[in-house]
Amino acid sequence: MKDRLALLSPKERTTQNRAVCERLQRFLHDRVRGLCGYIALSDELDVDAFLRETLARGIPLFLPRYENGSVSFHAVTSLEELEREERFGLLQPHPALPQPDPDAVSHVLVPGRAFDPAGNRLGRGKGGYDRWIAMQRKAHPQTQCMGVAFTEQLLAAVPTEKHDARMDIVVTPSHTFFEDPFSKD
């Protein structure tokens, strides 16, 4: 997957970033009440434009903080207030910022290495998102988890394990895949 993404030109990345943000705006415009987003790493789809639109509309936004293999989300009012973490240079919210009440989160944007149309996700191998999503779904089962990806990250099938969190929706520049509610065990 790393090799596939390395072949994307800056222009193609920008085009795909814009297309996914536009899809998210159309799809979530009247649905999102509280959003957990993310700040893209260099090989992830950049959703900053959608995050800025979310903030401009007054919708609560929570961004991830990574520590010791776990993920927590914290309220932000601006992307400019993020701090650069020293070890890996990640932009993330200050740990003292409030964490969301699970009921306040209607949607979660989830990055990953690869996705498939059934909602399966291949992450970075540490399980931080999987554990956080499991806790969020236990506390507020209505939360919709949305995998967002470049076209090149969509595979026919992604290998999964029991602990892997499945996405309710997968969004690429040209497709939106919804989970079949009758396929759950």
Condensed to tens digits (0 to 9), the pLDDT of residues 99-141 reads 999 999 999 999 999 999 999 999 987 889 999 999 999 999 9
Does pLDDT of 182 surpass 70?
A: no
Vertex 122 angle, CA 120 and 123, to 5° = 130
CB atoms within 10 A of CB 179: 17
Condensed to tens digits (0 to 9), the pLDDT of residues 28-47 reads 988 999 999 999 998 999 99
Identify the CA nearest to 45 among candidates 89, 109, 117: 109
Q: Which 3 state secondary structure label does DSSP give 107?
A: strand
**pLDDT of amino acid 125:** 78
Question: Domain coordinates of the chain in residue numbers?
Answer: 2-178
* Domain 2-178, CATH: 3.40.50.10420
Identify the CA nearest to 111 among candidates 139, 71, 161, 68: 71
Condensed to tens digits (0 to 9), the pLDDT of residues 47-96 reads 999 999 999 999 999 999 988 888 999 999 999 999 988 777 789 999 99
**pLDDT of amino acid 179:** 61
**pLDDT of amino acid 67:** 86
Does pLDDT of 185 surpass 50?
A: no
Q: Buried b vs exposed e over 153-175: b needs ≥16 C-beta within 10 Å? A: bbbeebeeeeebbbbbbbbbbee
Phi-psi domain of 94 (left: phi exceeds 0; alpha: psi -120 through 50; beta: other):
beta
